[in-house]
Structure 1
Amino acid sequence: MYTPKGRLDRDALIRQYVPLVQRLAHHMVAKLPPNVEVDDLIQVGMIGLVDALSRYDAAQGVQFETFASQRIRGAMLDELRDGDWMSRGSRKSQKQIEQAVVRLEHKLGRAPQESEIAAELQMPLAEYQSLLGRVRGTQLLYLEDMGGEGRDDEEAFLERHVADNEADPMSVLKDQRLRSALVAAIESLPERERYIMGMYYEHDMNLKEIAAVLSITESRVCQLHSQAVARLRAKMRGH
């Protein structure tokens, strides 16, 4: 697109590729924790688009959309890395809960009760429930961060799960297997936790709506959601 004076019309190109930025942002946010806002990714992606316009060289033989997609996605990833979007403290606490669930399931041969998990962590029930509330916001990350023991940092997660791998048949197959295993794990959850996961992820209900259905507080829904995720991670080891 060019202006009447024969210059590249940057404004027109930006308008043309806004849908590309939005599409990449929505694709990325679907794989991230719920505390990451799609509008924030779109804003950063627009900066990446402008940067792509200033750096693009048609002589290199690369289509602009391909080049721009790389710059837009790169800008979003940089923002996620720099924004401390995943608390290391929350990650550590979530893993401690998950490990306690694993130990208890092996010991008891069944899903442990909340009080039993608290005792395994050597803390009062109220303190454990408070911990469950604090780790909220990282759970979706942990659902997707399966396999690769020792790869504990944000960048490893981002590179494995946010990068565009749709063209990789092995990645698609692995994802299908993971989904099947996840469905089976969800079915094994205690009834109330299973309802919460279904309402939150399948029916897109918020915490307030779920709390009203179950006649409990929003904070209690948050706690049970965190605990359900810990149980799922324990079930999903090795997938």
Structure 2
Amino acid sequence: MYTAKGQLDANALLKQYSSLVRRLAHQMIAKLPANVELDDLIQVGMIGLSDALSRFDAAQGVQFETFATQRIRGAMLDELRGNDWMSRGDRRHQRTIETAVHKLEQKLHRAPNESEIALEMGLSLGDYQDLLTKVRGTQLIYLEDMSGADGDDDYLDRHQVRDEEASPLGRLQDQRMRQALVDAIKNLPEREQYVMSMYYEHDMNLKEIAAVLKVTESRVCQLHSQSIARLRTRLREW
């Protein structure tokens, strides 16, 4: 969209791509703790979109939406990093869940159910489900604990595109990780497979998934968190 003077119409583009900001914010919020506000992410994302408009150069041969997506995500991640969105306590809870899942898988030779995980952690089923809601799932591919045992890495940095990821070796490693992820998802309990498929393959948000499964959005959040814990356990071994 251009003005009569042949310049990009910033106002028109801000309006047109505001839906992109909302979509990216919804995708990101599902991976974050409940204390992160969706409206805050959207507001910061709009700043990223405005920045993209001011910096975009069509001569570089990149589509505006691709360029804007990087700027919007970057702005959101900078905001999250600045506010230390994931506390050490949440990281510790996440690792505790994963440890219990891993121990039970080794013992039972199958995926443990929620009651078994709760018992292993010394929690009631209700308390365990509350904990799943609290941790609210974390990053699926860039696993927090793969690079160190202390869990203090700023793994938001791992959302950023690195040069090596564009190399043939990087692409091959990514393909292998993706295949490992596909195999791990196939071993999830059936309902959790549905959740992951709807969320990651069909780009549905938690509210939409809840409507399909006829459960509450909070319940979908719990299933998503539990799935992430199982997958992180499997992929750490990869």
**What's 1:212 paired with?**
211
Preserved CA contact (<8 Å) 1:104 1:117: yes
Paired residues, number: 217
**What's 2:120 paired with?**
120
3-state SS in 1 of match to 2:149: coil
Preserved CA contact (<8 Å) 1:44 1:79: no
Preserved CA contact (<8 Å) 1:31 1:162: no
**What's 2:230 paired with?**
231
CA distance in 2, matches of 1:77, 1:219: 24
**What's 1:150 paired with?**
149
Shift of 1:151: 6.2
**What's 1:197 paired with?**
196
Structure 2 residues not aligned, in runs of 5+: 1-6
Shift of 1:97: 0.5
CA distance in 2, matches of 1:50, 1:230: 38
Q: What is the letter of the counterpart of residue 48 of structure 2?
A: G
**What's 2:167 paired with?**
168
Shift of 1:170: 2.3
Q: 1:163 to 1:31 in 2, by over 3 A?
A: farther
Q: What is the letter of the counterpart of residue 94 of structure 1?
A: Q
Q: What is the letter of the counterpart of residue 159 of structure 2?
A: H
Please give the TM-score of this superposition, normalised by the length of structure 1.
0.69
Q: 1:49 to 1:196 in 2, by over 3 A?
A: closer
Shift of 1:48: 6.0
Does structure 1 residue 98 correspond to structure 2 residue 98?
Answer: yes
Shift of 1:172: 1.7
**What's 1:81 paired with?**
81
Rg larger in structure = 1
Q: 1:121 to 1:151 in 2, by over 3 A?
A: closer
Equivalent positions of 1:2-17 (< 5 A) are 15=10
Shift of 1:153: 3.6
Residues 164-186 of structure 1: CA distance to partner in whole angstroms, max 9, x if unpaired? 44533222221111110000000
3-state SS in 2 of match to 1:130: helix
Q: 1:89 to 1:161 in 2, by over 3 A?
A: same
Q: 1:221 to 1:159 in 2, by over 3 A?
A: closer
Preserved CA contact (<8 Å) 1:144 1:161: yes
Q: What RMSD in Å do the two structures reach over aligned CA positions?
A: 4.3
Deviates more, 1:39-48 or 1:29-38: 29-38
CA distance in 2, matches of 1:14, 1:81: 32
**What's 2:48 paired with?**
45
Preserved CA contact (<8 Å) 1:143 1:229: no
**What's 1:55 paired with?**
none
Shift of 1:224: 1.4
CA distance in 1, matches of 2:135, 2:182: 23
CA distance in 2, matches of 1:105, 1:86: 27
Quick one: percent identity of the two aligned structures?
50
Preserved CA contact (<8 Å) 1:132 1:226: yes
Preserved CA contact (<8 Å) 2:185 2:231: yes
Residues 55-86 of structure 1: CA distance to partner in whole angstroms, max 9, x if unpaired? xxxxxxxx9x9xxx9xx687665433102232
Preserved CA contact (<8 Å) 1:143 1:232: no
Deviates more, 1:182-191 or 1:172-181: 172-181
CA distance in 2, matches of 1:99, 1:171: 29
CA distance in 1, matches of 2:231, 2:95: 12
Shift of 1:221: 1.7
Shift of 1:134: 1.2
3-state SS in 2 of match to 1:237: helix
